Structure 1
């Protein structure tokens, strides 16, 4: 799961001395690449791909074997074989370029809730650990090094300069000043998500500690909506950074007058939204809305523009729209999937990685003037789940992440799927990890969901156990939370 990119201190990043990078140098280079246009961006892609491939096959036993026989210098990604999460996770210890990082050590690390957001110690550097929820059928464990986090910060700064343009600054600056630049991160906190790690590196405090950490605060996405509204009203953020569906829910609260905040910017992340929703969110808050499409494997993948397109940060990412046989999909046609190459993260190289999302690349240059390739993505839209209230009054709405984050943190679950099969019924499909007790896993999962429903005023909603495991959607990905409109049971 991905939220706002992690911010990195202004000093050297936590890499070995011979690999250190300075954020200021990265920022200047990102601006030069943007101004240089497609030719400058392509030149950086070629050079960075060659360096990344060389590093991977020098330090990673998996890539050394996979790339045997390839040219000494690789500047074209199409020369490389396609990789995927399942195969890479099966070779985890050989995949990583730091020999001190092993699957056992990382699994033990993520099993301890007290270590969420803490650095994971490697042989020569510290890393941020992030987990994925398994929409492709395989749960992932990913490490981000200081180089990747530095690039994420720089890319986020470049995105902000696009969202807060001169035409929007006169409206945004007074709010930024009045609210002292306070940042509210409404993110998943029950597991090792990149967003939680970002909040930790920003020095964010969790709600309830009196605000000692200052202007950045972390609000758990699973917080019951009335509590979240009250906390945000008290905090009065200048920048609101939630998941997209959470933003849609908060916009409804703002329109109803229960939420009363005046952010200058609403920075969305992780999920797609139906057409028209970004405009509704912007109108509800009277704020600039910025959106991004990203993945744990590449947290700085893209950002939105005023034309409604997503621009891939092609100076640090290679994105290849392809068909089901991994052949290039022409611009203007919807792809079957995309292959992603992360040109920054070296501890766990992501090279021609099948991400599983379907995109449409714009065949011409975007009207916003951004020289980076423009895309629209399908397969990331998440919808809200609505339940009737147990008493007379309004319905209760939950975001998919509010439900899924409760199960993401549980041991013994390889994959899960929650489906709303009736207005007051949820069906839970479970795939236990090898060796886990299915009955104990079910009881733990049921307890988590029942507790969430109770704290949300939904004690009358039942959770039923399915007689079979999670079912993939068309294209092979798993819709982990399915609202009633998508029910197939």
Structure 2
């Protein structure tokens, strides 16, 4: 594994050094190989690609896929016939297996993503090696040699703040990291009350802090107020985007470097932020297409309706010309940082923190804290939580026809009320929505809608 990662890092460095032409060539070659393998070994892709040329080097030649299609054809999607929905769901239902290998060789994770529909994604060991290589490349971009020495001097203590209790990508990564590094890694739930989270971080004093972006903004508030007193060398953010000025504020509050990555369970190594505030897409490993509502290309400098991605590493469950659902803006000129990889900003993943008033002051909850207990309920195929009044939430559910709708609602409501109670918000009313989740103007379903939206 280590030798494989080193080779991947060397190849990525050499390709980027040669410039945009070499990056594009590497993408074409990997795409052709990926399409050929998918066509040969996946019944679904064999069907989708039956009329395509023998060799495909451009993602634009491929039909569009999405989470709904792939999940509905799960057993036909994979290239390993042992990867079945029945086996995957049995694995997912066991929380004790978070971080373990699925079928003794694959990494499995779940997500609802920005659409609210649960997805189950299986990735192979080669993909995990690419993830490791890209993360090390990002660290090299974000940190100076003196920063690395500071981290080493503090024994690399790392705190991860994330959704827990499920096979989420971050939880799987944390479980494996904890197993390898033991007490040097502190795993903290994004759902715990802020007072407890602050106390745990003050005690642990991490050199590296890896929270969701919205949680980082909230922790910066605590640091500014003096309740939190930690001095990390790097905050590695993930999950949601923030207004551009927030990254600078977080860096100032902690006197630390701030790195941000934009990725998804469908492609965990998609991009990372440079010192100019732009996200650079790893185009040697992912074909990334900003498109309009008809899936036609949009010019750099224009905001896209959505983005199509092709993961060029994972062969067990190929993700090819997949509608990710996010609106992006690609920079039309070279980035001043000098990185030749395409530079983008994400317009459709802003962090929607919900704020509730209490006698003791405002309580702010990031969207993942509220969505996680709903996402965990079997039978929910789509959900949306709207903050309709200062002390009222409306939960809209789309429920599988095979499930008992009332039982699903009661379980989802109980999970949500449990989270609210943990934060002293028992007074907040949870209302059952009479209508299914509402589609936004951009064609997406937002999981959590704040009061001001």
Structure-2-length-normalised TM-score: 0.96
CA distance in 2, matches of 1:185, 1:267: 9
CA distance in 2, matches of 1:77, 1:452: 43
Query: Which residue is equivalent to 2:346?
Result: 377
Deviation of residue 280 (structure 1)? 0.8
4+ runs deviating over 4 angstroms = none
Query: Which residue is equivalent to 2:36?
Result: 54
Contact 1:317 1:343 in 2 (8 A): yes
My pick for the range that moved more, 150-159 or 407-416, is 407-416
Deviation of residue 258 (structure 1)? 0.9
> Alignment partner of 2:161: what SS?
strand
Query: Which residue is equivalent to 2:100?
Result: 118
CA distance in 1, matches of 2:116, 2:257: 36
CA distance in 2, matches of 1:372, 1:173: 25
Contact 1:294 1:301 in 2 (8 A): yes
Deviation of residue 228 (structure 1)? 0.9
Whether 1:215 and 2:184 are equivalent positions in the alignment is: yes
> Alignment partner of 1:368: what SS?
coil
Deviation of residue 249 (structure 1)? 0.6
CA distance in 1, matches of 2:185, 2:142: 20
Contact 2:244 2:277 in 1 (8 A): no
Whether 1:71 and 2:53 are equivalent positions in the alignment is: yes
Deviation of residue 178 (structure 1)? 4.4
CA distance in 2, matches of 1:436, 1:70: 39
Structure 2: 5+ residue stretches without partners: none
Query: Which residue is equivalent to 1:208?
Result: none
Deviations 1:447-467 (A, max 9, x none): 111111111111222211111
Query: Which residue is equivalent to 1:395?
Result: 362
Deviations 1:354-381 (A, max 9, x none): 1111111111110000010001111100
Deviation of residue 201 (structure 1)? 2.0
Mapping of residues 174-253 of structure 1, within 5 Å: 175-204=150-179, 213-253=182-222
Query: Which residue is equivalent to 1:145?
Result: 124
CA distance in 1, matches of 2:231, 2:114: 35
Whether 1:437 and 2:369 are equivalent positions in the alignment is: no
Query: Which residue is equivalent to 1:82?
Result: 64
Whether 1:43 and 2:43 are equivalent positions in the alignment is: no
Deviations 1:120-154 (A, max 9, x none): 10xxx611111121533532111111111110110
Aligned length: 453
Query: Which residue is equivalent to 1:10?
Result: 2
Query: Which residue is equivalent to 1:314?
Result: 283
CA distance in 2, matches of 1:106, 1:173: 39
Query: Which residue is equivalent to 2:331?
Result: 362
Do the aligned partners of residues 246 and 394 (structure 1) sit closer, same or farther apart at CA in structure 2, a change above 3 Å counting? same
CA distance in 1, matches of 2:225, 2:436: 40
Deviation of residue 484 (structure 1)? 1.1
Contact 1:222 1:405 in 2 (8 A): no
Deviations 1:94-113 (A, max 9, x none): 11001001111111211222
Contact 1:134 1:415 in 2 (8 A): no
Do the aligned partners of residues 458 and 138 (structure 1) sit closer, same or farther apart at CA in structure 2, a change above 3 Å counting? closer
Deviation of residue 155 (structure 1)? 0.5
> Alignment partner of 1:326: what SS?
coil
CA distance in 1, matches of 2:436, 2:390: 22
Deviations 1:225-266 (A, max 9, x none): 111111111111111111100100111011111111100001
Contact 2:381 2:399 in 1 (8 A): yes
Deviation of residue 82 (structure 1)? 1.5
Query: Which residue is equivalent to 1:102?
Result: 84
CA distance in 1, matches of 2:387, 2:64: 36
Do the aligned partners of residues 268 and 134 (structure 1) sit closer, same or farther apart at CA in structure 2, a change above 3 Å counting? closer
Query: 406, 423, 426: which is aligned to 1:456?
Result: 423
Query: 445, 460, 465: which is aligned to 2:432?
Result: 465
CA distance in 1, matches of 2:62, 2:428: 50
RMSD of aligned C-alpha atoms? Answer: 1.6
Structure-1-length-normalised TM-score: 0.90
CA distance in 2, matches of 1:329, 1:322: 5
> Alignment partner of 1:397: what SS?
strand
